[in-house]
Structure 1
Amino acid sequence: GQLGQPDGDNYVGYYNGTLISDSLLDMKYLLQAKDKAELDLRASDKVDLNVTSYRPDTKLYSLRAQTDQTRIYQNPYAIGLGYSADKKLKQLKVLYNQPLTYQTNWLNAATGSANTTKYFYAANFNEVVFQNTKKQINLTGAFFKKTDLAKPAQIIFKFTPETDDPYYLTLGASLDGDSATWYLGSKEYPYYKTFRHTIVLNPTVSGSDDEVVITAKFKKNSLWLENFVLYRMDRSLVEQKLNQLQKSSWQLTKATAHRLTGTIDITKSNQLFATTIPYSKGWQAKVDGKAVKTYKIQDTFVGFDIGQGKHQVTLTFTPPGLYLGIILTLVSLVLVFIIRLRENKA
């Protein structure tokens, strides 16, 4: 949720990734449903998949395959299950409702970059049209009310991309599907409409002169533009940093149901071994055959210390309590056998 994805008490969906989050989470492939307008449908045809997100930045990925209703893209920037990261990553804190700042801090910490290095820049709208609500200059955090409660109200945001960099739009939790209906051009914006943290949308990635129009139609008598900011990503710098991490990633040589083995070349000092594997006490790590202590990084993933040089790294997973469970089961079976034996003798 703090990366900009919709989540709740009992669900989470990876709908709104960026080049950074896709790659740092090792999303190697993305499967997207085609828009209905692209499909050659008859009135009786059934559409099995609905478009639940809009990711034009996947144009920067490689189209590997497609079916009648889907496209499969390969992410050339995915960094792998494990990678060499600067020890700054140990101190990285998860930020609340600041997804793009958190992604920036993650990439900076992992690459050992200066804390001042930026990848996202606030972009201005060329024009904003207010209909049945009062005009305001500062949009982020602004609170709007209908002028005439009996009539519909909407705000229209217009901008023209100046580069071929991806553009991202953040929406605070107050801008969910209950408060407004969002449109991209003349079509309703496809996004998961229930969320409790600030999410990140990707309205465009285009260097053309085509104007992008985003419309928010009020569903209630008021609208709070919580964390509503348009950003441009510095794509070139992001690619540079992700390529840096890829060069020092874990190269798997063997993978089974509970063990991963591979090699890694740690070219710098002051590095740790970071993974995209959720932390559990069941994970045991060995570097060149010697056990090392694992710990949790970013309050989420498995990490451990590692020295400079070429190493073979093995991660093994044993479900916590497995051996104790086996012992208790065997003891129980023995007790049942003894009881049944006594009953038969009686």
Structure 2
Amino acid sequence: MGDGSSPSYGESLTSGSKAGLGGLMFIQFLVGIFGNSVILYMFWKFKQLQTPSNIIFISLLIANLGMCFCIPFSAASMLAGSWLFDSAGCKFYGFASMFFGLAVIGLLACLSIDRYIVICRPSLASSLTHSHYTYMSMAAYLNAVFWAIMPIFGWAHYDEVGTSGCSVDWTRADAPYISYLFSLFMVCFVLPIVTMVFCFGRTHTVLVMRQQVQNIGSRDNLSPVNSDWANQKQVTQLGVVLIVIFILTWSPFAIVCLWGALGDPQSIPLWLATLAPFAAKCSQFLNPLMFVVLIKRFRDYAVVMLCCRTHVETIELTPSAAQDDRNEGEL
């Protein structure tokens, strides 16, 4: 999503605050580009990671990179104290940031659905192919395109906001803006949260039941092409962390949108209007970081690549590694 703060908020920021926020945005850009590029290269380098379900993760990394490339526009404008680009640049930035941001949200929901299918519906998971996961990822991108392009065609409008960027002008109180912002809030924030909570909640229940009968992580119950994630001990913790990150990073912007649609936009606190766009951009480097930190298989491949090792087979084929996988599958 695009940045969101009214012009009066942008003018209220001191020069020092603008410089600090601009600097932090450039740090977000550098960290996000590095983290997502490293992991994306890891998927390309190690064929063992190119499983059907990981297509969603690859799509998420691409969307994260798209968000990263939007940051320099707002960061440079924040440092300069005013929007540096013309109206065409404003529309491009508004569309791009909205598109990639919504794609990230949609793909996170797809990941939760994937975990639900693999853990709770193993017979269905065994029939899924690369094409199925490609279609799922495309659906997330098409949903993002729809909501991002609507302001260009007249349902709401992209406009300069504050000094750091362009987005849907949620400070306006007319019917098109209110209907767009409310619909956006329900479809692209509430619905993904409900989906993730249900899917990961159900997944957690099934994992607990399998633990009680000591058969969790059995490869016989999982599709071979998807066992890459499902035998990891931390899969449930990862789901909870992704939900928490999603809520923490996107809630400020969602609150600003809903406040602008249903309340008085001018009453939105300065700290909330300033925090919203910055917090939303934090997700683009936190998501891949959590996958590496919490999932052993991804962590092993990342270490192999960063240490310039060439024989990734030592991770998957050594007895100790195989035993580690089995142990992690037994919670």
- TM-score bracket, shorter-length normalisation: under 0.3
Query: TM-score normalized by structure 1?
Result: 0.26
Q: Which has the higher helix share?
A: 2
Q: Which has the higher strand share?
A: 1
Where relative contact order (Cα < 8 A, 6+ residues apart) is larger, the structure is: 2
Query: TM-score normalized by structure 2?
Result: 0.27
